[in-house]
Amino acid sequence: MVMSDWLGWVATATVVFSYFSRKPTTLRRIQGLGACLWLAYGVLIHSNPVIVANIFVVVAAFGTSLRTPAAEPPKG
């Protein structure tokens, strides 16, 4: 198995693992890591659609994981 195949499998496992996270922030950060791995995979296989799509996912995942959560409305 070539290096790019291994990277693709690790990226897949990382994204699947993210769905077991209980906190939305942690889920987004793990998905951001998975997207970084997919981005590297896209570079290795010279696939512009994979590269561009995962640039957007990295920015969205890490960007939304860093924002301050909105306050919950008062109950009652």
**Binning pLDDT at 50, 70 and 90, where does residue 5 land?**
very high
Output the CA–CA distances (angstroms, integers) from residue 66 to 60, 69, 75, in the order listed.
10, 9, 26
Question: Could you state, in order of their start, the residue ranges of all structural domains in the chain?
Answer: 3-66
pLDDT of residue 70: 63
- Three-state DSSP at 22 gives coil
Q: What is the pLDDT of residues 14-43, one digit of tens each?
A: 999 999 999 999 999 999 999 999 999 999
pTM, full prediction: 0.82
